[in-house]
Structure 1
Amino acid sequence: MLIYNVFGRYLGVKKTPEGWQVFRAEMTERKFSRLYDIIIPDDMTEAEIPGWLGDIFHESATELHPDVWRIE
């Protein structure tokens, strides 16, 4: 699973035969809950995902958390 810090919120992204799946990630206990309302296009590459998440969640950007980046 790919783990991203999305403006201070942790999201997991996993490629499956059905396409990309997105999860809310609780990193302390490594628990993941599937999020069905966030869609990543099937043809999107791994390198494009941070930009896509940044576009979706840009309203969540703050001075303390201004970016999206992969942490795992």
Structure 2
Amino acid sequence: MAKFDVFGTTMIITRRDRGWMLAIESGLGMRRPVTDVVIAHLLVEAELAQYLADIYHESASIQHPDVIKLA
């Protein structure tokens, strides 16, 4: 499991079988699956932050300019 701050939104990526599963984490500990983003199973964990930055770059702002790995 990897946790990221994606331009101000907390997202969790977990390895499932032969792929990755992406979810948005609420402030209450609940997770909402993101079904419209496909993460290639060939990506390794070290590449996930850059991949999320590429996918969600429109969400960047002055307050949240980066994707940051949290855990």
Q: TM-score range by the shorter chain?
A: over 0.9
CA-CA distance at 1:18 after TM superposition: 3.6
% identical aligned pairs: 31
Contiguous gaps of at least 5 residues in structure 2: none
| Corresponding residue of 2:47 | 48
Q: How does 1:11-50 map to 2 (within 5 A)?
A: 11-26=11-26, 28-50=27-49
TM-score for the superposition, normalised by structure 1: 0.92
Deviations 1:13-41 (A, max 9, x none): 00011410000111x32111111111110
TM-score for the superposition, normalised by structure 2: 0.93
How many pairs are equivalent? Answer: 71
The alignment partner of 1:59 has SS state of helix
Distance in structure 2 (CA, Å) of the matches to 1:61 and 1:33: 21
Paired amino acid for 2:3: I
Contiguous gaps of at least 5 residues in structure 1: none
